[in-house]
Amino acid sequence: MSKYTDYQFKPFLRDAIAKLGFTEPTPIQKEIIPLILKGKSAIGQAHTGTGKTHSFLIPIVQRIVEDKQEVQAVITAPTRELATQIHIELAKLVEGTDIQTKLFIGGTDKQRSIDKLKTQPQIVVGTPGRIRDLVNVQALLVHTANMLVVDEADLAFDMGFIEDIDTFASQMPDTLEMYVFSATVPESLQPFLRKYMTSPVHVEMNDKRPVAENLEFYLIPTRSKSKNDKLLEITKAINPYLAIIFVNTRKQADYVANFLSHNGIKPGRIHGDLTPRERKKMMKQVRDLEFQYIVATDLAARGIDIPGVSHVINYELPQDLEFFVHRVGRTARAGNKGLAITIFEPSEEHRIVEVEKFGIEFKPKDIKNGEIIDMKERHAREKRERKEDEIDRIAKSKVRKPKKVKPGYKRNMRWEMDKIKKKERRKRSRQRMK
């Protein structure tokens, strides 16, 4: 299907898709939507920002039987923020219908969640731990659900949530269809997949460019300055709608946020030490545009969907370089332009080279008089050295050791080679001037 209007969706779903402004499905949506409509279990392997959330939400909504008041689909996400974001998108698709959806996440009152389940919703979205708790006390009845989505499965595994999912998945029907979405499918995840999936279709987006086309990458060296000073220079040179500054640890997030505060910038901060209430309040402030800058750990790279990000600043490279793609995937979404700026020290050159292997093309930049300026490419010196090697080879090939050596012949050979080198350099210089 090349357009959304080609699908035989229910009228309300067609209207909702049109209202969202979707006209053509993304590559992963073209692959996954037909599989879910046919009830064929699948593993969707794709990078962030590919449209995978709607690849499972749209067909699930299409398949819900509205007059059947029982759980028909369960969708899990490893973090509260991600589950909340999925539920927000789901609400847009079912608006004005009798389809009931419920969100169950940790950090909220458990008894309230139980009270909400006097009537079973048709679609459940939530974090694995909270869904497991509700199933264990028999408040949430999942034995009727024939569809289970495990979003960000590798992250769920890393966070120890696969056992929670296993607990309630084992209570679902033998005919259960499972849809697993993950940026990577580690070997350690395979036993879980084999337990619930028989010959699933593996959809892998082999896009050599794992990041959006309308995203630029600037590489800015610290030179003789500290990362803090360079970061401050960058904030004065850009005027972002919303920028996320990525750091590696919670302690570093507080350190950088405090530094910005002392320099007249009020930043938001997102990391794992925030309480559920603090995180909820922070996300509301972010959505209310109270901040122009957010300092965050990699929790925000995959676990939280922050709308409207125009800039990503890597204060430091992620410890796991795979996360670089997830970080920069926070911007240039939904057809918008984005800019990813990476601050680096000379000692990190080898890690920058590794990042470039992901298909990232950095533009070397620096800050001068409050503006971002072009720099010579990083490898210019290497190229210059390679040219010198070539000139040396030419000189050596033209100066031969005499058959009869006399005292001082080595010195004379060096003089001859130096003359040839100078002549070759002048020749190349003239060619460059033309």
Return the CATH number of the domain spanning residue range 4-204.
3.40.50.300
C-alpha–C-alpha distance, residues 268 and 291, integer Å: 6
395: number of Cβ within 10 Å: 20
Q: Within the chain, which residue ranges are assigned CATH 3.40.50.300?
A: 4-204, 215-374
Return the exposure string of 374-391: e unless at least 16 CB atoms fall within 10 Å of the residue's CB, then b: ebeebeeeeeeeeeeeeb
Report whether CATH 3.40.50.300 matches the domain 215-374.
yes
Q: Give the per-residue pLDDT at 75.
A: 98
Contact present, 12 and 97 (Cβ < 8 Å): yes
Helix (H) or strand (E) holding 244, with range, is: strand 243-246
The residues that bridge with 373 in the sheet, in sequence order, are 366
Return the exposure string of 348-371: e unless at least 16 CB atoms fall within 10 Å of the residue's CB, then b: beeebeebeebebebebbbbeeee
**pLDDT beneath 70: ranges in the chain:** 47-49, 206-212, 303, 334, 378-389, 405, 429-434
Instruction: Compute CA distances 16 → 9, 12, 21, 172, whole Å.
Output: 11, 6, 9, 30
Rg (CA), the chain: 28
Q: Give the per-residue pLDDT at 47.
A: 66
Q: Give the per-residue pLDDT at 433.
A: 53
Q: Give the per-residue pLDDT at 382.
A: 46
Structure tokens at 371: 């503006």
Closest CA to 328 of 416, 211, 412, 224: 211
C-alpha–C-alpha distance, residues 145 and 135, integer Å: 12
Q: E strands within 63-170?
A: 73-76, 101-104, 123-126, 147-150
With DSSP H G I counted as helix, E B as strand and the rest as coil, what are the percentages for the chain, rounded to 5? 45, 15, 40
C-alpha–C-alpha distance, residues 75 and 302, integer Å: 17
Q: Give the per-residue pLDDT at 272.
A: 76
C-alpha–C-alpha distance, residues 275 and 281, integer Å: 10
In the 8-state DSSP scheme, what is residue 6? G
